[in-house]
Structure 1
Amino acid sequence: MAGGGTSAAKSSSTTTGVRIVVAGDRGTGKSSLIITAAAESFPTNVPPVLPPTRLPEDMFPEHVPVTVIDTSSSLENRGKLADELKRADAVVLTYACDEPSTLDRLSTFWLPELRRLEVKVPVIVAGCKLDLRDEQQAVSLELVMSPIMQQFREIETCIECSAYKHIQIPEVFYYAQKAVLHPTAPLFDQEAQTLKPRCVRALKRIFILCDHDRDGALSDAELNDFQVKCFNAPLQPSEIVGVKRVVQEKLPEGVNENGLTLTGFLFLHALFIEKGRLETTWTVLRKYGYNNDIRLGDDQLLAPIKRTPDQSVELTSEAVEFLRGVFTLFDSDGDGALNAHELEDLFSTAPESPWNEAPYASAAEKNALGGLSLDGFLSEWAFMTVLDPVLSVENLIYIGYAGDPSSAVRVTRKRRVDRKKQSSDRNVFQCFVFGPKEAGKSSLLHSFVGRQFTEAYTPTTEERYAVNTVDQPDGTKKTLILREIPEDAIGKLLVNKDALAACDIAVFVHDSSNASSWTRATELLVQVASHGESTGYEVPCLIVAAKDDLEPYPTAIQDSTRVSQDMGIEAPIPISTKLGDFNNVFRRIVRAAEHPHLSIPETEAGKSRKQYHRVLNRSLMVVSVGAAVAIVGLAAYRVYATRKNASS
């Protein structure tokens, strides 16, 4: 890996060129620096502030357009200065080598000002007027700048120059452009002097992609293929020997009998970066599709999916089979579950594990040792695909899915069509769980993923999820996602007319020993059903009578029978999470979701609306029949008239 050559590919923020803003105290040489770089001659008359200046495109090897913005440091222009700094891709801060006070102003004003304005771009410090400095006062640039660079890590490079003597003028803008095209921050932790985790993960994925024979090392042939792909030039045998010798001398485990190991591969990149050759690592990353955030660029991923609000996205059987293979591969101890270490290893080629944070972190069932079963593993993927299909496919690619991204997912049929066809072909169903406080909603979710029942009550303040597979009578499995909606959040949810579009089935949980809990649950049922009727997103609904181990309130049976009959839905399903008696509730939820034309509640308003439409349809039918008679009569008259004319 000899490096060589640089990549003109850049992050999306710089695809149209690099914008460099030059700022600093008045009289520090900003305008002279810019004119000398652009015109290659020192100006005799310098205007107070230059217009935007385009540097020659052949000035640097990348041939990327560079526009340099001059600024005024006067108080009346402070607003314009702030605007320009906020639009910068890189900032050059100037001081005058013959005026030490202007150097002090960098750390007392200019660098803090950039932070105040939240300008988070690379900074190049340029000491101008080097020719005017008193050589008797000369000090080491490294000695002077080291404390400032320790305090302000955004400084990429410090350089001294002279516009008058043409000393290091192009270099100022080369370093600024380089800091944009090949930034240090995403790759390297300067404090720890190590590659950053996301960089390591990307390089590990690239290493695995290059290790064609999967022996854990890059052979001479694989190294050469890598070099040709990234730098369009082969490595000579002597160069390969040289690369491996450098690694072996510094890091013996970096090379083995099969070639360059992952450890050695990472060591080489750290070495390039330490020596200022960031373009080598960036060329490799960009050749494999990574952007400045060390994520795969949009062109490598799933294109935005066109779908209606009541369509969902599922993994295809091809993607599921791939995931089954991945599970087996990373279940290194063969216990049928992925523990935390095995999961981390599986996602070690992704920017980070996607399941470490909510809503995925605690959504699926884990065994007593915290391991994720195959069903739990596939459920998490199904869940992520429903919530964020682009993220799901992105992570599939990171862990080795080599097919076309679009082959990993399918868009389901519209729910409205499912209702008309009276069946659903979905494999993944999303169930919204409603109910008053302390009804037992969270206990239902916990039981679904195998968590122990607890008497302690913890209010639900934000939405939470539980996901698992549900065995079907025919031996197949469906994935069910339970989404608990806190009582206080229901009003806010239903403000959105598409709120129920993602809902395959709604469940209303109440405490069967508490009359007020039942009353509130039925109010919520009517509220949700009314929303569905008015928006066209009617959903099947089930009532779950929780805490069946407690004494029911006196009129429970009569009340529940009346409501379920009036609304045309199934009678409440009694369950006791405390006793572990679930009455097949999860299978019944899936069954109701599979037959979306059933279990849809009717409110009084809905019934009145239907009655109105029936009356309207009848009247229209009468009109239609009358119109048909008139048309038939007219046709008969025309036949009669034609015959009469023919006979006369």
Structure 2
Amino acid sequence: MAAKTGVRTSVRIVVAGDRGTGKSSLIAAAATESFPDNVPSVLPPTHLPADFYADGVPLTIIDSSSSMDNKSKLFEELKRADAVLLTYACDQPMTLNRLTSYWLNELRQLEVKAPVILVGCKLDLRDEHHPMSMEDIVAPIMKQFREIETCIECSAATLLQVPEVFYYAQRAVLHPTAPLFDLERQSLKPRCKNALRRVFTLCDRDMDGALSDEELNEFQVKCFNAPLQPAEIVGVKRIVQENLPSGVNDRGLTLPGFLFLHALFIEKGRLETTWAVLRKFGYDDDLNLSGDYLPVPSKQAPDQSMELSNEALDFLRGVFQLLDTDNDGALRPTELEELFSTAPESPWDEPPYKDSAERTALGNLTLNGFLSKWALMTILDPPRSLANLIYIGYGGDPAKALRVTRRRLVDRKKQKTERNVFQCFVFGPKKAGKSAILNTLIRRPYSKNYSSTTEDGYVMNMLERVQGGQKTLILREIPEDGVHKFLSNEECLAGCDVAVFVYDSSDEDSWNRSRELLVEVARKGEVSGFGVPCIVIAAKDDLDPSPLAVQDSVRVCQGLGIEAPIPVSSKSGDLSHIFNKILTAAEHPHANIPETERGRNRKRYYKLFNRSLIFVSVGAAVGVIGLAACRAYAARKNTSN
């Protein structure tokens, strides 16, 4: 039983093809349910009402001219199309050849993503003495051009299969094949399998790996508002068992059987059945959860960020324990793959998440690394974080899974913060040792091999605090070549809790460049109002230090009003004191904010300006009082006289 879609409110179909292939007659016949005697060369937009087909979605059909003079207009219409009908004339074989030699290639060059329906018109005029097998002719074309949804032949003169033409076009839009099924392999696509696996898991309430008759009936009622009769349930399970013995067991319909059923529906052209199920469980046309199912809190200011709520964190800890079947405190790649088997794909296979968290010597993800990845995803992409929480089974109120932090500006005024996740931006020249410091946070072994960083890099970990509790620290490395572009954004420092500046303590030039970066960032903070605590790190302390760099760095830090540089050596492998220092600075957001001479002069100017305003206002008030006193004195004098 098909369900009405709530995804689209209209469908726009563009009809294109060579001159004389019957485009306008086809449209007119569909709209009037008769064969018109006189049809204009190009019809105006034609509308089929919502009740024309069972899906209840109105259609707008756009006719097109084959004239070269109207080519640009046609191309614009094709780009706006939800579906494209390409026509050929059944009595003119050359028009069919033109579909592959011209029209389909033209659609690809225009990067038209809409599904394509091949329509053979004038079927009543085909030469009966030369019968043609449409399947033999069209199959090679459909194999070459996967964007073709189907092919159908019709006759406007006899009204043969005219309504079906536009029904298939509408269905290709409302119930597309491409996201669900691989026609070449004749199997469900991975994203479709993952979505259906999630549906199955949610419906398997007793979590025994099978849908009982009761659970199967509840599923049917939820998706189609109608129960299954006992005989129907028996029939469904019999069909599955005959084709896939593992699809049914003594507890009911298994996941393989559930997937087999949907593949069978699609193969038999009942895509609307699978789409009805997917949309009932919140999926859009791309098999992602639709926005209505993701109540992400809105950030009000750029210096606010998102964090997972305690409820969401408790859920993730529970998930980790369930997946960690060998109780070694870490998740193997196969266990992570199982975790995201009900999501469209693993969100952590690409940067910035890949290889950015703590792992064991065997390469398995620790609990701290696991939770840290969720923290980073929540800050960088809150909708994606919430969606993946739901994909993996989060059953709490989605609106309460994320929380918006207080503004950093307010934190500085109150001289404290309520954040649990802190972002630290790491600046410094090439070969200063930035990446080595980042690697130490996630306990990655020190390496002598140097590779230049060209893109922003992230690492993150959860750290124990002396006063108790855990905080998540995210280090974001800003490549030297990318600093100018980074600082060109007015709000670039809004999401930063601490800025760290790294230089090679044995190299005076390295310090000079790091100093320039420090001053640039300090000025940016003063101008934008997003000033942040700054820490300077003198890296490679195991090498002979440059005396001039040491002296000048201390002098510059004193001049800016921040702490002196902290000497470190990444070779030691333990930089916990540095990371605790960063967290302490983040927890005291009002301190260690650098102040340039320009900033001090600006502050003095504003103080003098404000004082002058106070003086003027006081003087004005005194003048008003004096004037009032004079008037009162004059009034009393006149009265006495």
Shared topology, TM-score over 0.5? Answer: yes
Contact map agreement 1:575 1:581 (CA 8 A) in 2: no
Contact map agreement 2:296 2:386 (CA 8 A) in 1: no
Distance 1:436 1:642, change over 3 A: same
Q: Report the alpha carbon displacement of residue 642 of structure 1 after superposing the two structures with TM.
A: 7.8
Residue 586 of structure 2 is matched in structure 1 by 593
1:13-67 deviations in whole A, cap 9, x for unaligned? xx23111111111111111111111111111112111111112433311121012
Does 2:145 align with 1:148?
no
Does 2:557 align with 1:544?
no
Please, which moves more after superposition, 116-125 or 260-269?
Answer: 116-125
Q: 186, 207, 230: which one pairs with 1:193?
A: 186
Q: Which amino acid aligns with 2:39?
A: V
Does 2:550 align with 1:553?
no
Residue 426 of structure 2 is matched in structure 1 by 433
Please, which moves more after superposition, 554-563 or 137-146?
Answer: 554-563
Q: 201, 205, 216: which one pairs with 1:212?
A: 205
CA distance in 1, matches of 2:5, 2:573: 62
Contact map agreement 1:186 1:199 (CA 8 A) in 2: yes
CA distance in 2, matches of 1:255, 1:583: 55
Q: 388, 396, 405: which one pairs with 1:403?
A: 396
Residue 409 of structure 2 is matched in structure 1 by 416
Residue 522 of structure 1 is matched in structure 2 by 515
Identity across the alignment (%):
65
Q: Report the alpha carbon displacement of residue 404 of structure 1 after superposing the two structures with TM.
A: 2.5
Q: Report the alpha carbon displacement of residue 403 of structure 1 after superposing the two structures with TM.
A: 2.4
Residue 7 of structure 1 is matched in structure 2 by 4
CA distance in 2, matches of 1:617, 1:106: 76
SS at match of 2:518: helix
Distance 1:36 1:556, change over 3 A: closer
Q: Report the alpha carbon displacement of residue 140 of structure 1 after superposing the two structures with TM.
A: 1.4
Q: Report the alpha carbon displacement of residue 275 of structure 1 after superposing the two structures with TM.
A: 0.8
Residue 13 of structure 2 is matched in structure 1 by 20
Does 2:375 align with 1:375?
no
Q: Report the alpha carbon displacement of residue 635 of structure 1 after superposing the two structures with TM.
A: 6.2
Contact map agreement 2:502 2:539 (CA 8 A) in 1: yes
Q: Report the alpha carbon displacement of residue 81 of structure 1 after superposing the two structures with TM.
A: 1.8
Residue 161 of structure 2 is matched in structure 1 by 168
Q: Report the alpha carbon displacement of residue 527 of structure 1 after superposing the two structures with TM.
A: 0.8
CA distance in 2, matches of 1:617, 1:129: 85
CA distance in 1, matches of 2:49, 2:447: 71
The aligned runs of 1:473-492 (5 Å cut-off) are 473-492=466-485
Contact map agreement 2:465 2:471 (CA 8 A) in 1: yes
Residue 110 of structure 1 is matched in structure 2 by 103
Q: Which amino acid aligns with 1:308?
A: A
Q: Report the alpha carbon displacement of residue 207 of structure 1 after superposing the two structures with TM.
A: 0.6
Q: Which amino acid aligns with 2:404?
A: V
Please, which moves more after superposition, 606-615 or 388-397?
Answer: 606-615
Equivalent pairs counted in the alignment come to 641
Q: 298, 301, 320: which one pairs with 2:294?
A: 301
Q: 566, 577, 584: which one pairs with 1:584?
A: 577
Distance 1:443 1:638, change over 3 A: same
1:227-271 deviations in whole A, cap 9, x for unaligned? 011111110001001101111111111111110011100000001
Q: Report the alpha carbon displacement of residue 597 of structure 1 after superposing the two structures with TM.
A: 0.9
Q: 334, 340, 344: which one pairs with 2:333?
A: 340
1:159-213 deviations in whole A, cap 9, x for unaligned? 1211112211111111111111111000000111110011001101111111111
Q: 224, 235, 247: which one pairs with 1:231?
A: 224
Distance 1:345 1:647, change over 3 A: farther
SS at match of 2:348: coil
Unaligned runs of 5+ in 1: none
SS at match of 1:311: coil
Q: 528, 545, 564: which one pairs with 1:535?
A: 528
Residue 388 of structure 1 is matched in structure 2 by 381
Q: Which amino acid aligns with 1:198?
A: R
Q: Report the alpha carbon displacement of residue 557 of structure 1 after superposing the two structures with TM.
A: 3.6
CA distance in 1, matches of 2:238, 2:547: 85
Contact map agreement 2:539 2:567 (CA 8 A) in 1: yes
Please, which moves more after superposition, 417-426 or 401-410?
Answer: 401-410
1:382-418 deviations in whole A, cap 9, x for unaligned? 1111111111111111111122322011111111111
CA RMSD of aligned residues (A): 1.7
TM-score (norm. length: structure 1): 0.96
Contact map agreement 2:297 2:403 (CA 8 A) in 1: no
Distance 1:642 1:207, change over 3 A: farther
Distance 1:583 1:272, change over 3 A: closer
Distance 1:625 1:123, change over 3 A: closer
Q: Report the alpha carbon displacement of residue 288 of structure 1 after superposing the two structures with TM.
A: 1.0
SS at match of 1:103: helix
The aligned runs of 1:220-299 (5 Å cut-off) are 220-299=213-292
Q: Report the alpha carbon displacement of residue 647 of structure 1 after superposing the two structures with TM.
A: 7.8
